[in-house]
Amino acid sequence: MSENKELLKNGKRIDGRGIEDLRDMEAEVGIFKRADGSGYFRMGNTEAVAAVFGPRELHPKHRQKPKRGILQCRYNLTPFSVEDRKRPGPSRRGKEIGKVSEGALSSIVFLEEFPTATIDVYMEVISADAGTRCVALNAASIALADAGVPMKGLISACAAGKIEDTPVLDLKGEEDKDGQVDLPIAMNAETGDITLLQMDGMTDIDEMDEMLGLAVKGCKKVAEKQREALMKTFEDSK
Ligand code: CDP
């Protein structure tokens, strides 16, 4: 992260948002017929789709767990999602985000109900403008609910950060690139349990508290959007 652009002027950000404003959001459930569950989520210009398969028997068998199922997660930036075409195929960054997303989602699924099984979650970022891991997790969470996977709640994710020495909510691309801190979190907004927390940049405890507070507020708004989209599918299917 470097700082060389004016990102905040009279309390307004480059896209006109205030410091506590989220980007415009959109959510849709059940977008792929061939998956057991699927979802779409958008925050500003960052968009992701997710597909869920399972619970189904895990192969090879030696990876099966006798007492609980496992959740496997793939995160992928599509080649057309970023400004400079991304080289297709796996990357270290993608693998790391897949791994931390597995942790973030596994903790809300009742995996003990599915010994020897796997639940496979595929998250594809189709447009990237910062916050892709959060948007991908938001899509994945509604996809899991759409698949009817028993869960303790929904996972909702959102980043806070720091630009021009000021904590702000939900960074967009230029703010992430030229800002000072990016702090994505994922949580069960109903219970308050945080299941992912990452940070790059430098901060102190007081600022960290402020950014966390903002991110939690953001996750609660994300959760409302997710619930609204899920309610809509249940009503449409009546
Ligand atoms: O997207 P997220 O904030 O979760 O992760 P990041 O690694 O902090 O990436 C921030 C942003 O950099 C992404 O959202 C993309 O807009 C951009 N990026 C990119 O253009 N090309 C990449 N290979 C990786 C990230």
Cβ of 163 below 6 Å from ligand 1: no
* Integer CA distances (angstroms), 68 to 52, 65, 234, in order: 18, 6, 29
SS3 of residue 74 by DSSP: strand
Among residues 126, 205, 201, 140, the alpha carbon closest in space to that of 171 is found at: 201
Instruction: Report which of residues 235 and 113 the model is more confident about.
Output: 113
Per-residue confidence (pLDDT) for residue 89, from 0 to 100: 87
In this predicted model, what pLDDT tens digit does every residue of 32-57 receive, in sequence order?
Answer: 999 999 999 999 999 999 999 999 99
Indicate which atom in ligand 1 lies nearest the CA of residue 83: 20
* Shortest-distance Cα residue to atom 14 of ligand 1: 130
In this predicted model, what pLDDT tens digit does every residue of 108-159 receive, in sequence order?
Answer: 999 999 999 999 999 999 999 999 999 999 999 999 999 999 999 999 999 9
- Is residue 3 predicted with pLDDT exceeding 50? no
Cβ of 211 below 6 Å from ligand 1: no
Which of 176, 177, 185, 200, when mutated, tests ligand 1's pocket best, judged by the most ligand atoms within 8 Å of its CB? 176
In the structure, what pLDDT confidence band is assigned to residue 21 with cuts at 50, 70 and 90? very high
Q: Write the CB contacts of 119 (distance below 8 Å, at least 6 apart in sequence).
A: 52, 53, 54, 55, 56, 69, 70, 71, 72, 109, 111, 144, 147, 149
Q: What is the distance between the alpha carbons of residues 92 and 180, in angstroms, rounded to a whole number?
A: 23
CB 124 within 8 A of CB 181: no
Cβ of 39 below 6 Å from ligand 1: no
In the structure, what pLDDT confidence band is assigned to residue 71 with cuts at 50, 70 and 90? very high
Which of 82, 86, 177, when mutated, tests ligand 1's pocket best, judged by the most ligand atoms within 8 Å of its CB? 82
CB 141 within 8 A of CB 132: no
- pTM recorded for the entire structure: 0.97
Residue 124, CB-side half-sphere exposure with 13 Å CA sphere: 14
Average pLDDT on 219-229 reads 98
Average pLDDT, the chain: 96
- Is residue 103 predicted with pLDDT exceeding 80? yes
Instruction: Report which of residues 168 and 238 the model is more confident about.
Output: 168
CB 37 within 8 A of CB 144: yes
- Is residue 4 predicted with pLDDT exceeding 70? no
Give me the domains of the chain, ranges plus CATH numbers: 14-236 (3.30.230.70)
